[in-house]
Each structure stands twice: as C-alpha cells, then as structure tokens.
Amino acid sequence: MGLFDWLFGQFIEVIEWTDDSHDTMVYRFPTYNNEIKYGAKLTVRESQVAVFVNEGVVADILEPGIYELETKNLPIMTSLNHWDHGFNSPFKAEVYFVNTKRFTDLKWGTKNPIMVRDPEFSMVRLRAFGTYEIRISDPKQFMNEIVGTDGHFTIDEIDDQLTNLIISKFTTILGESNIPVLDLASNYEKFSEYISKKIAPYFGEYGLHLTKVLVENISLPSDVEKALDKRSSREITGDLDKHIKYQTGEALGSENSSSMGDIVGMGAGIAIGQSMAESLSKDRVDKTTPPPIPKANSKKYYVALSDEREGPYDINTIQLLISKDKIKKDTLVWREGLDDWVEAYTILKEYFNTTTPPPLPKT
C-alpha cells in the first residue's frame, strides 16, 4: 500500500450497509484500524438502526435517515469523549447496523413426542410443528444480551434457543388444555394466539418482539393414526353384513380378481362375516324360550316325587319306576320340548298296564 493510499484510506467518509443475505440480524461496519472522518456521511435505511459503540460501551443509536456525523448527531459519544467545546478531527468508533425488519417463516417443532392425557384415548404421544416471526425491538438490549462482539450475527445463531422457548411453553399449554385429540385441529388458531401471549415476555428479555406463532400440525404416532383410520373406515361402512355382501359383489365383478388366492380370501372373508353375524344373532335370542327338541333316543325325564324334582332319568329307568308303582298316572313329569309339567299318563301312556283284573266274585 502506497503512502497516499494509506493517507486517504484511513479516514472513512461514507458509512452504509445494504443487506442481501436475508438472514443477517447485526452487521459491524469494517472500521478496524481506521478512523471516521468528522462530518462523514452515514446512511441508515428503513428497517435499520445504526449503533455506535465507543470503547466497548453502546453509545448513540441513530434511526433511519442520512446524517453528517458531528457532535450534535452523537451526543453520548460527545459527552464520553469531552467534545463539548468543539470537535472537527477524525474519531474511532465501532458502527453496528441492526436489522429491524421482520424475520419470517422461522421453523419450530418438537424433537420428541409430548405425552398427554386424552379423555377418549387415555394417554397419547403428540408431535407438533409450525412457524414463527420475530423482529428486533430493542437494539441496545439485543446487542448487550445476545450479540456481544459478534461482527456478523445471523438468525441461525439464536434460532435453536428461540425454538426451545416455544416448545417448552407449548408443551405446558398443550398438557393443561384438556382438549381431546380429535378436536385439536379446530383449536390451532387459539393455540397460536395463546402461545404468542405467553412466550412474548421471554423474547422481550432478549430485545426481541415475537410477532406471530403458527401451529401448522399436531400429529399422532403412525400406529395410532392407522388405528384411527380403521375406526373411521368401520364407522363409514355402517351395516357390516351389507358391507361384506357389497365387497363380495364388487370382487366378483372385477376383472382383476380372477386369481384363486383372491377367491379363497374372499371366501374366508364371507365365512368370517357370517360367523360374526350368527354369533351376534345367538346373543340376541330370548333366553326364556325352551331349547330345541332333542332326538328320541336321548330324551330325559324329570319326575315330581314327594314334592321334590328327581332326575333326569332315561326311559328304562322310567319304566322301572312305573312297574314299582312309584310313578303313577297322575305323577307330574317333564322333559325337553314341554312348556310345563304334565301328568305321566299323557306322555307315557304306552308304559302303563291298562289291563285291570275283573272284580272279585261274590261269595
């Protein structure tokens, strides 16, 4: 570097910053080993503020506009450097441009599922994700709390911390809401508004303003989603028997269902459906109706003897009791197929000896 280059290069006459990165939050203007010329031109564009740091201390903050740097524009630096009685020589200072625009479409999402109680599914694990927007509301506080001496601070350097703040508060809010899983989708907007209000003070501690939080999706584990899909399908089908018949007809009429495997599978499905239908029908049978009439060779009889029910006896035992005159014609008996007890003679007529001896002759 030549002598004249050094002489003209050490005095900075124009200070400005145009951002084409879209993710830079703070940029330090390169002034290392250089001095700012008194009366230098400073351009601060919309969505920017210029922060002057003197010997490590945040001094003056200039809003958007065009300035000629002199004592009246830098009152704090003037006071710190005792320039009150006039100043027209170059000076040293660090100049930071703080980007005050809104940073949008920043992503947040749960790293691990959130375990919550659900009134319908007992306990479920939920995942959630969405977006949020921020902007720098207090440049001095942001510089002191977050940036420090970083000369090129981007949104990526603070994104993880902000995401953790959102997730921690979202987890608490979701756990306390007691909203059923099936109704969460209708409450995304309420969640967004509530989360924004609850988390905004924590962002304010960093000099940031949380302008918006959006909940895009709250999802269940894949196995639970499959179970819900099956349940929904079952509800839509309605009558199970009619649905099975409909599917069978569709399969028979399809050109692509000619393989033996399809037919076997269809048959198995029909059999299962019929079995289920029969089982349901049996459960609905009135338990007070008499059982079916058994085969003749398996009839069993109950007998009322001395006001006590005895039996069941097979027909051979009944014949023996008749022959011993323990079962009389008017003895009450019952067997399967009868609605009530009847006299023995009415159903066992053939087993009674109907031939009576003649009366004794008179002497």
Higher pLDDT, 275 or 98: 98
Q: Map 173-230 to HEC letters.
A: HHHHHCCCHHHHHHHHHHHHHHHHHHHHHHHHCCCEEEEEEEEEEEECCHHHHHHHHH
DSSP state of 96: E
How far is the C-alpha of 292 from the C-alpha of 336, rounded, in Å?
A: 8
Contact in structure between 207 and 145 (CB atoms under 8 Å)? yes
* Whether the predicted pLDDT of 244 surpasses 80: no
Indicate the pTM of the whole model. Answer: 0.58
* Whether the predicted pLDDT of 284 surpasses 60: no
User: Which CATH code for domain 103-222?
Assistant: 3.30.479.30
| pLDDT at residue number 258 | 52
How far is the C-alpha of 169 from the C-alpha of 162, rounded, in Å?
A: 11
| pLDDT at residue number 85 | 58
* Whether the predicted pLDDT of 16 surpasses 90: yes
Q: What is the mean pLDDT of residues 283-307?
A: 66
- Strand bridging mode 35-44 / 11-15: parallel
* Whether the predicted pLDDT of 194 surpasses 50: yes
Terminal CA-CA length for the chain: 173
130, burial (CB in 10 Å: exposed 0-12, middle 13-18, buried 19+): buried
Name all contacts of 68-76 with Cβ < 8 Å and 24+ positions apart: 68/39, 68/40, 68/41, 68/42, 69/15, 69/36, 69/37, 69/38, 69/39, 69/40, 69/41, 69/42, 70/38, 70/39, 73/42, 76/52
Q: Which of 27, 23, 24 has the alpha carbon at shortest distance from 44?
A: 27
Domain ranges of the chain: 3-99, 103-222, 238-283, 296-351
Q: Where are the alpha helices (DSSP H) in the chain?
A: 3-9, 75-80, 139-142, 156-177, 188-204, 222-237, 240-253, 260-283, 315-323, 344-347
Assign 222 a pLDDT band (cuts: 50, 70, 90).
confident
The string over 1-29, giving b where at least 16 C-beta atoms fall within 10 Å of a residue's C-beta and e elsewhere, is eeeeeeeeeeebeebebeeeeeebbbbbb
Q: Map 35-53 to HEC letters.
A: EEEEEEEEEECCCEEEEEE
Which DSSP string corresponds to 56-82? TEEEEEE-SEEEE-STTT-HHHHHHTT
Contact in structure between 154 and 24 (CB atoms under 8 Å)? yes
CA gyration radius for the chain?
48
Contacts of 14 (CB under 8 A, 6+ apart): 40, 41, 43
| pLDDT at residue number 61 | 92
Average pLDDT of the chain is: 80
Q: Which of 285, 278, 324, 276 has the alpha carbon at shortest distance from 303?
A: 324
What are the tens digits of pLDDT across the range 319-357?
Answer: 888 888 889 888 999 998 888 899 988 888 888 875 555
Contacts of 87 (CB under 8 A, 6+ apart): 38, 70, 71, 78, 81
215, burial (CB in 10 Å: exposed 0-12, middle 13-18, buried 19+): buried
| pLDDT at residue number 116 | 84
What are the tens digits of pLDDT across the range 123-182?
Answer: 888 889 999 999 999 999 999 999 988 989 999 999 999 999 898 888 888 877 778 887
Q: What is the mean pLDDT of residues 217-233?
A: 77
Angle between helices 260-283 and 240-253 (to 10 degrees): 160
Whether a cis peptide bond, with omega within 30° of 0, leads into 358 is no
Residue 301 is inside which H or E element, if any?
strand 301-305
| pLDDT at residue number 276 | 61
Contact in structure between 135 and 211 (CB atoms under 8 Å)? yes
* Whether the predicted pLDDT of 264 surpasses 60: no
On whether the 296-351 domain is CATH 3.30.1490.40, my answer is yes
Contacts of 232 (CB under 8 A, 6+ apart): none
